[in-house]
Amino acid sequence: MSLQIVKAGVLDTIQDHGRYGYQQLGINPGGVMDQYAASIANFLADNEADTGLLELHFPASSFLFQQPALIAISGADFCPTINGKVISINKPILINKDSLLEFKKNKSGNRAYLAIHKGLQIESWLHSKSTNLKAGMGGYQGSILKSGDFIHFKKNSITRILKKEPFIQLPWQANTIWENEAYPCLLILPGNEWSWLSTAAQSAFINNEYKIKPQSDRMGYRLESKSIITTHNEELISSGVSSGTIQLLPDGQLIVLMADHQTTGGYPRIAHIISAHQHKLAQMKSGEMLCFKVTNQKTAENLLTIQQKHLQQLQNGCTLRLQQYFNEI
C-alpha cells in the first residue's frame, strides 16, 4: 500500500506529535506545528491523535494513490482536488487507487495535514516518526518529501465500497471551533524574565502589534514591531525553552519558538503563548499581524481543558460515525 509523490512541495514532511525525553541530549521534540489540526485529521481518518501523518505547506506536493485509502485533510485550506474535482477539508474521504490528490490554491491557513487510516509504514526514531531535518533522521529518510518518493501505508479493508468511484466524501464534517469566546489576540503568560522589563516596556509589549517576518520557519517566528528595550544588565545563563516561548532579542525585536526550537536559549524569556493558542500562530503566514494579551494560569488551564474536551468528543463522534457508516454498507 503506497502513495507516490508525483510533484514535490516546498517543505512537506512526515510528522507526529513529537519526540520527547531527549532535550538533555540536544534533540528537540519537533513534531507537527499545529497539533490541534493534526489531531482532527487523524480522528477523521480513524487514527489516534499522535499517529504519523503528512504536514504540507503551499505549494504542496501532489500524491498518486496506488492503493485505496481512507484519508482526511485538516488545518489550512489549500483547495484540494482528486482527479481535478474539488474536495472538502475536515471530512473523511475514501480515495481509490490510481487517483491523484493535488492542492490548487492557498485559500486560508499555513499548514495542512493529510492523515491516512492506520498510519504510515515508517520506522520510528527515538520513539517518534517525526522528521528531524537537522539530524537527517525520522520521517521519510530524514528528509523533506521529494518527487518520486514512495510513502507506504498500512493495509486496510474499509475501502471495499469504492468499486470504480475515484473517491467518496463521507457525509459529515468536523467542527473545528472549540472556543466559547473569540480572542482577537493570542493569550500569553509572563515568562521567567518578564520582570526584566520596566513597566513601560511591559506596556509596550502588550500594546504593540506585530508583523510576522519572512524569516519565520518551523524553528521560530520572527516578529517585527517597535523595539522593546530593557535596561536590565544581568547576563542570562542559557536555560531550557519550549514551543511557544517568546524571547527578546538584543535588537529589541521578538522571536516565538516553534516546533523545531533549540533545546536551550540565552535570550530573555519574557512570555509564553498558552498551549491552547499555539495552533493559531502555526496557521499564520508571513506578513500577517498579531497581538498579545496577558492572562493567568487558571484561564490557560481552563482553555486547554475545553480544547481537549472538544477533541475527545470529536474523536468519539468520528469513531461512532465511521462504525455506523460501514455497518450500513
pLDDT (tens digit, 9 = 90+) per residue, 146-194?
999 999 998 777 667 787 889 999 999 999 999 987 889 999 999 999 9
pTM of the full predicted structure?
0.96
Q: What band does 239 get if pLDDT is binned at 50, 70 and 90?
A: confident
- Tell me: do 84 and 205 sit in the same domain: no
- Tell me: do 29 and 149 sit in the same domain: yes
Q: Is 136 exposed, middle or buried (0-12, 13-18, 19+ CB in 10 A)?
A: exposed
Could you tell me if residue 196 is inside a domain?
yes
Domain count, the chain: 2
Query: For the ranges 21-30, 44-53, 73-82, which has the lowest average pLDDT?
Result: 21-30
Report CA torsion sign: 319, 323, 326, 329: negative
Whether 56 and 93 have beta carbons less than 8 Å apart is answered as no
CATH number of the domain at 234, please. 2.40.100.10
pLDDT (tens digit, 9 = 90+) per residue, 287-314?
999 999 999 999 999 999 999 999 999 9
pLDDT (tens digit, 9 = 90+) per residue, 197-222?
999 999 999 999 999 999 999 999 99
pLDDT (tens digit, 9 = 90+) per residue, 124-154?
999 999 999 999 999 999 999 999 999 999 8
Q: Which domain holds residue 221?
A: 186-295
**Nine-digit cell string for 288:** 500577517
- Tell me: do 125 and 41 sit in the same domain: yes
Query: For the ranges 2-16, 24-38, 112-126, 228-242, which has the lowest average pLDDT?
Result: 228-242
- Tell me: do 199 and 133 sit in the same domain: no
